[in-house]
Chain A
């Protein structure tokens, strides 16, 4: 018993001395405490981290401004920024989808962007307020298992996946902002009553997964026949190994169907930011030629949106998607969450 006690003591002691207190480093709020010459920006990043890393590395190389990441999800971070208010440590906020940007904007969280910066992307990617802007986009797709479904069997509209024949055969990542953005498009195109009805059907038909990647994997494994995701999950997996996409093909709804929705990833400068100039520089970079080129050439699989930069040739051209025309400022996140709660999907 005594020996055991001693040994435990020794372990505790060893643990205490070992790696020092490396963690302390992450504790204090960065930014203000940075080097004297250049501020360090805090980026609230709800986008895929590897993609943003690539972009931000380019930015830091060009400007010498360092950027700290806080990673999260669209709605979580948007709500967080709203709660934090003027005390928010965030300088720039980037999302995967626009409803989160709209939420922050509606609470007056963003500072207006410079006109020159806004002009770097086509108009449909800028909300009327001009307080934030798109810097990337992604297309809704119906990923299906090509061994289970023929092209003739595919649903014509996203609204059709609530039909009885799809019961238990389709998957969605309901808790994710991606899917919630798609629902916001359905809401914008079809109105509240039809959307509520559609969600109810979805609750009955769909299996819920943790994320788009999981949906695609389930489709590929034949667990389900098809799922609603964004295009780039498939593009990336095919580019890498195809392990989760070899049996899977994409179906683009087109026809201005809400299922052909192209979601806009937004970037904005926080009103609370204490480094306005540097923060604007970052947004300008993300939407400018160099940033867009990194996006188009990179491995993210997302669409660059600048007219000056050709999009990734591996992607179905943006012009052929026949997406529904929607005002990016009108996609309503909180309403979608409420409708999904009512339908029991959340």
Chain B
């Protein structure tokens, strides 16, 4: 009976308020800037054909990709989890693998082979094969978690396999699939590199163009406002969905598995379809990458530069993971252990970054640091704060789950067995939350190593990362020179991504 009505500890509360304030900088900036720009100027910058064009471009790509990823992710998940498809374990790994490849690298792989992928249809293809794992993974997890008894009941009530899927399985998958595709939408709104390379202008690429043309001028910031509104729309939908979602409680003991659907004659077409997905998502871009690595005319393999940029990327990733985790922990602790309206508000404020693309966060931090903290401007510190704001939600999710794994009763037991606070922390709480918090830190690390947009804007003088170096070479059409950096990014993120996806698979 956890009826602990405890007041918020003041130090913890102060720390959390500080974190929430930092996380709120970009949003406050966007709102403040929009207000201070004034109505006339805002009107001039917002109501012009270009904005309409961008809006249409952004909307049709986002919606198209959300629909396609939902279909592709669900279909693939069903084939892998519920049918007699041969090699299901391998397919599982292969289908999740595109997560380890940044979309701008996939895009690079394609566009360096053929300019035919430029424009809407190419962009749609590339972002779809880059992002469908965001639907595939939760859909597969949901399929694994379904109670087989429900499907058996439907079959007993006279439904065939197809009707059972439509009327019983699909409705239960809906939260996972919708949630996943909304996440795809948010990612797409923030996507810069992939679309810039495909010559498909959206709000994010337009903001970058404006930034290159006029730094942080009102035009860029006003576009950022519109972009944030789009994101907020999707995020609201996602939050409402999450609020209604009910998690089935996982029973003790091994779950009974359902008899898989026999594909019979459909085995070959299914295999071909999955093979096509993997070929488009991994085969072509990775093949292209290897091609540019091997035969690229401008490939000189600058070992020294590769080593230093990789070290910088890894170092930044580690520092950002450390900082982000340190910021997430107090808020997560407060929100798990001291439920209340204040702690909920503080927790939610850290999720605001979900609606803020990297380009907006970067613009905000540039302007804020120049105006208010000139000494911090152009430092690794600001870059790290940018990363922390962007990836705080990832660290929070893991930290919250980890802290929930260590309920207060375990502390009570430890105390009753004679351990004091510090010892309890060392022997009980840390070992319990470390794996989850560590996984969260690893997620942040991965995200930072493959982050392009904010890094381009915020990296201080002399700081070159794998992503920025890749970008600078690929902008010069020096595909061969760009390839090694892309390959290294994939090499760094692939193993950890694999383990993390396996982990979610095992725990769900």
Contact = CB atoms under 8 A, between A and B. Distances in A.
A contacts B directly (C-beta below 8 A): yes
Interface of A: 1, 4-9, 11-12, 15-16, 18-24, 26-30, 42, 48-49, 68-71, 73, 75-80, 82-84, 87, 89, 174-177, 180, 207-211, 213-214, 217-218, 221, 223, 240-241, 243-244, 334, 337, 340-342, 344-346
A303 B298 CA distance: 23
B472 interface: yes
A175 B464 CA distance: 23
Interface stretch (B22-30, B175-183, B259-267, B308-316): B308-316
6 contacts: A15-B442, A23-B316, A28-B379, A83-B215, A175-B212, A344-B48
Given A22-B312, A70-B461, A344-B48, A27 B381 contact: yes
Contact of B53 (A28, A75, A344): A344
B506 to A, nearest CB: 5
What are the nearest 8 A-B pairs in CB distance? A79-B215, A23-B315, A27-B380, A22-B311, A175-B209, A26-B463, A213-B477, A344-B50
Nearest to A40: B462
B86 interface: no
B201 interface: yes
Contacts of A30: 461-462
A29 B461 contact: yes
Contacts of B503: 4-5, 8
B444 to A, nearest CB: 11
Given A175-B213, A177-B212, 17 more contacts: A12-B445, A15-B314, A15-B317, A19-B310, A22-B311, A26-B312, A26-B459, A89-B461, A174-B209, A175-B208, A175-B212, A176-B212, A210-B197, A240-B298, A337-B217, A337-B219, A346-B219
B206 interface: yes
A4 B459 CA distance: 35
B141 interface: no
Given A19-B315, A21-B315, A26-B380, A210 B499 contact: no
A40 to B, nearest CB: 10
B55 interface: no
Nearest to A345: B50
Given A83-B370, A210-B475, A23 B213 contact: no
B150 interface: no
Given A29-B461, A73-B212, A346-B210, A19 B311 contact: yes
Contacts of B500: 8
A177 B472 CA distance: 16
Interface in B454-500: 459-464, 472, 475-477, 495-496, 499-500
B406 to A, nearest CB: 14
B461 A80 contact: no
Contact of B213 (A21, A75, A211): A75
A87 B374 contact: yes
A214 B477 contact: yes
B472 A12 contact: no
Contacts of B199: 207-210, 214
A346 B461 contact: no
B171 interface: no
Contact of B380 (A8, A24, A83, A334): A24
A109 B85 CA distance: 67
A76 B499 contact: no
A346 B318 contact: no
Contacts of B506: 1, 4
Contacts of A49: 472
Nearest to B196: A210
A123 B50 CA distance: 40
A68 B319 contact: no
B507 interface: yes
Nearest to B500: A8
B497 to A, nearest CB: 11
Contacts of B439: 8, 12
Contacts of A345: 50
A16 B210 contact: no
B56 interface: no
B63 to A, nearest CB: 23
Given A22-B312, A209-B199, A210-B199, A346 B496 contact: no
Counting chain A CB atoms within 10 Å of each CB, the highest count among B199, B318, B381, B464 belongs to B318
Nearest to B495: A11
B475 A1 contact: no
B21 interface: no
Contacts of A76: 211-215
Contacts of A71: 472
A345 to B, nearest CB: 8
Contacts of A207: 199
Nearest to A90: B461
A68 B50 contact: no
Nearest to B382: A27
Contact of B438 (A8, A177, A241): A8
B308 A22 contact: yes
B370 A26 contact: no
Given A11-B495, A21-B315, A87-B377, A344 B49 contact: yes
Nearest to B211: A76
B172 interface: no
Nearest to A79: B215
Interface in B309-343: 310-319
B29 to A, nearest CB: 14
